[in-house]
Amino acid sequence: MIRAILSRPIAGDLGLLVLRVFTGALLIHHGYEKLANIENFADAFVRPLHLPFPILLSYVAAFSEVIGSWLLITGLLTRMGALAIAGTISVAIYHAIVTAGFNIYLLELLGLYFGAAVAVLACGPGLFSIDELIARRLEPNLELAVESLEQSVSRTPSLEEIPVAR
């Protein structure tokens, strides 16, 4: 643990923490607004796409934003939260393009939310998350395994050192 803190650059993990917390905190109110008037959201956004079960899908969108945002903020099941957000935002991007074309003012916020969710999905939550605490609890010897892997890689001979039969 101490080696990871002292020798590993934590700027990337701090960046992921900031990305997770700000994305979740800024997105969560969209889900709560949907829940406040679910019928209005269904009429304005789901029915124009001619999707089946508009009320059910409206609840799915709202809860994926609310629960996904909380998962991002806390860093618990972070990739599942990011996947839920990316899925919901991809439908929102599709809706924006179908109804208004490539309007940058509608797409810019959606694109930022989508990009943040995909980045967290690809990179994981980082060191400063509940997922990391759980992983360390379940695999306490992970640092020793990483250290032994690093040592074995550093002992691997380079191509110049390998004798070639002629």
pLDDT in tens, 8-44: 678 889 999 999 999 999 999 999 999 999 999 999 9
Whether the full predicted model's pTM is greater than 0.85, yes or no, is: no
Q: Write down the pLDDT at residue 142.
A: 62
Question: Which tens digit of pLDDT belongs to each residue from 144-161?
Answer: 666 666 676 666 566 566
Question: Which tens digit of pLDDT belongs to each residue from 85-112?
Answer: 999 999 999 999 999 999 999 899 999 9
Query: Is there a contact between 90 and 144 (Cβ–Cβ < 8 Å)?
Result: no
Question: Which tens digit of pLDDT belongs to each residue from 33-80?
Answer: 999 999 999 999 999 999 999 999 999 999 999 999 999 999 999 999
Domain ranges of the chain: 10-140
Q: Which residues contact 1 (CB under 8 A, 6 or more apart)?
A: 136, 143
Other Cβ atoms less than 10 A from the Cβ of 155: the count is 7
DSSP string, 70-117: HHHHHTSSHHHHHHHHHHHHHHHHHHHHHHH-S-HHHHHHHHHHHHHH
Exposure string of 34-69, with b = 16+ CB inside 10 Å and e = fewer, is beeebeebbeebbeeeeeeebeebbbbbbebbbbbb
Q: Which residues contact 142 (CB under 8 A, 6 or more apart)?
A: 135, 136
